[in-house]
Amino acid sequence: MTLADAIVEILRDAAGRPERATPGSICRVLAEETERHLDRVRFSADRYMRHPIALWNDWEVMLIAWERGQVTPVHDHRGVMGGMVVLAGSLDEERFETPARRPELYERRVRPEGDLSDIGPTVLHRLTPASPRAVSLHVYRPPLRTMGVWDESGMISVMPSAFDVGEEILARVDSANRVTY
């Protein structure tokens, strides 16, 4: 069984329960399964690295590897719900409001290893590692296909969500003895 298969099995189990699973509610279980494979994560000095793990029905699971100094643009998730858990290191997260259609910082916090964050469909935020290296797991429902990118003047573009490594890095790794939901 691959890591992607194990993750899909956890998602399938969650979908069969009476309470509706959200990205935040299932993030920790998916993190336990993924943490066993952190030795396979690829880092780059040039940019943060997005690793695909699973795309199933209306779910998407990815991992991001960070080096100090790397930063996302201020971005939204175009109405998609998300959850994030920091698997290693720590991240700075800045959240913004948009009075007058321009981002204004209203919250900044360090997200330490193990921290779980719900990312609502209207959240506008920016992430950067607070430690020399960090790894975070991101779960989206529905899958994240595009992101709105913002600067101080407002939204400047909509860009596709893309990956920096292939599925063979994490998604296809053997994952026997999986964690259950």
The three-state (H, E, C) secondary structure of 80-105, written as one string: CEEEEEEEECCEEEEEEECHHHCCEE
CB 102 within 8 A of CB 154: yes
The CATH superfamily of 3-160 is: Jelly Rolls (2.60.120.10)
Residue 166: per-residue pLDDT: 84
DSSP secondary structure, 97-151, as one string: E-GGGS-EEEEEEEE-TT-EEEE-TT-EEEEEESSSEEEEEEEEES---EEEEEE
Residue 171: per-residue pLDDT: 78
Query: Consecutive 10-residue runs of the chain (181 residues): their mean pLDDT?
Result: 92 91 92 93 96 92 97 96 97 95 96 95 96 97 94 95 85 67 51
Residue 130: per-residue pLDDT: 98
Q: Domain map of the chain by residue range?
A: 3-160
